């Protein structure tokens, strides 16, 4: 992973030194992808391979978080704006509307594969098997009590549920700009809240308040925002006894000698359980591409084709070696067809 991070930094530095080719508009800056820290190692791997095969400077790849990447992507078209937004969740309707308002009204939504969100601890730490409601009761800012909700009183895991280890609740995770944070709220915190009768009733009577309570994490030091670098969270776990971390499955695979994952509802995250959806925190990964830039940014179409090639995205491709769970063959074929046809995405519901 250190080698990968160094390569990624090199890619950004090379891209910043100058354009990769001639042409006007967006092409003058070379290929530029920004966004998700989860997609980042996959995008840098494709960029490295693309540069080796095509010659010239590698595409510029940045890790800014899904929200930050899509915001930059939606600022407009042409020079000075990214060609690609990497995302570890689908684009939101509000983000799509912002794109359209700024003239980015033709966008390809390309699903590149699947990933899981893991809750991990150091290899020599305690084993965790979480039930749906455990994560909500440990990490939500407010929990039910009496006739209303109050500040979360739980300070140790065995206060949440007696079968959990008797150690302090300390969880390092991604910040609000991260798609991994968004997905964790939707896939872990929401179902955990719904498993509690008082919150299930609230979801029926006041959906907005339910979402606010389910999605507001603690700010008392039990949940710690750790920036957009998932690998930094992994390293923190090895230096912080008893701490847990939330990050993408690919980073678990890269660091199995130093960290291990908790199970959720008795299911461990692995390639099979993520691909078939039996692991509860499974999700899809995307890249969003400006259709107009496919014509103005030299090499962009070929770069996206490399992303979807059998060598990269196939079941034995080099992205699978990095921890990406490949798409089934029929879904990969459909994504390739959408690229060939330049089929724009529709506004998310």
pLDDT tens readout for residues 192-227: 999 999 999 999 999 999 999 999 999 999 999 987
pLDDT at site 228: 72
Q: Going by DSSP bridges, is the β-strand pair 171-173/244-248 parallel, antiparallel, or unpaired?
A: parallel
Q: What DSSP state is assigned to residue 348?
A: P
- The CATH number that domain 2-114+285-341 falls under is 3.40.190.10
Q: Which CATH class is domain 116-282?
A: alpha beta
Task: For residue 323, name the pLDDT band (cuts at 50, 70, 90).
Answer: confident
For the chain, which residues make up each domain, given as ranges?
A: 2-114+285-341, 116-282
Residues 107-158 pLDDT 10s: 999 999 999 999 999 999 999 999 989 999 999 999 998 778 999 999 999 9
- Three-state DSSP at 171 gives strand
Cβ-based burial of 225 (10 A; exposed 0-12, middle 13-18, buried ≥19): middle
pLDDT of amino acid 322: 86
H or E stretch covering 283? strand 282-290
The dihedral built from the CA positions of residue 25, 299, 57 and 62, taken in this order, carries a sign that is positive
- Give mean pLDDT, residues 53-66: 91
Q: Among the listed ranges 71-75, 137-141, 324-328, which one has the minimum average pLDDT value?
A: 324-328
Q: How far apart are CA 276 and CA 269, in angstroms?
A: 11
Q: Which pLDDT score is estimated for 144?
A: 93
Q: How far apart are CA 89 and CA 94, in angstroms?
A: 14
pLDDT of residue 145: 85
- Please work out, in degrees rounded to the nearest 5, the angle formed at the alpha carbon of residue 258 by the alpha carbons of 256 and 261: 55
DSSP code of 277?
Answer: T
Mean per-residue pLDDT of the chain: 90
Give bridge partners of residue 244 from the DSSP assignment.
121, 171
């Amino acid at each position: 992973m250190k080698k990968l991070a160094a390569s990624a930094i090199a890619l950004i530095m090379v891209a910043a030194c100058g354009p990769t080719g001639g042409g006007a508009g967006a092409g003058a800056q070379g290929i530029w992808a920004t966004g998700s820290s989860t997609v980042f190692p996959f995008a840098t791997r494709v960029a490295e391979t693309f540069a080796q095969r095509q010659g010239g400077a590698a595409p510029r790849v940045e890790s800014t978080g899904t929200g930050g990447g899509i915001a930059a992507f939606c600022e407009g078209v042409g020079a000075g704006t990214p060609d690609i937004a990497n995302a570890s969740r689908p684009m939101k309707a509000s983000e799509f509307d912002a794109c359209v308002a700024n003239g980015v009204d033709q966008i390809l939504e390309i699903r590149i594969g699947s990933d899981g969100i893991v809750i991990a601890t150091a290899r020599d730490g305690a084993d965790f098997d979480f039930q749906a409601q455990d994560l909500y009761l440990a990490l939500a800012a407010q929990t039910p009590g009496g006739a209303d909700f109050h500040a979360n009183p739980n300070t140790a895991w065995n206060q949440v549920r007696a079968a959990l280890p008797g150690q302090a609740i300390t969880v390092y995770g991604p910040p609000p700009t991260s798609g991994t944070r968004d997905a964790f709220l939707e896939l872990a915190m929401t179902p955990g809240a719904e498993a509690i009768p008082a919150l299930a009733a609230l979801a029926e009577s006041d959906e907005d308040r339910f979402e606010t309570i389910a999605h507001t994490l603690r700010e008392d030091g039990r949940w710690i925002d750790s920036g957009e670098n998932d690998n930094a969270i992994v390293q923190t776990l090895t230096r912080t006894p008893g701490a847990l971390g939330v990050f993408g499955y690919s980073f678990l695979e890269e660091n199995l000698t130093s960290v291990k994952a908790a199970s959720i509802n008795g299911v461990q995250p692995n390639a099979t359980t993520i691909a078939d959806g039996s692991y509860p925190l499974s999700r899809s990964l995307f890249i969003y591409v400006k259709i107009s830039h496919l014509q103005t940014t030299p090499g962009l179409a070929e770069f996206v084709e490399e992303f979807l090639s059998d060598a990269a995205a196939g079941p034995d491709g080099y992205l699978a070696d990095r921890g990406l769970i490949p798409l089934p063959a029929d879904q990969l074929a459909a994504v390739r067809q959408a690229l060939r046809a330049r089929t724009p995405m529709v506004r998310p519901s």
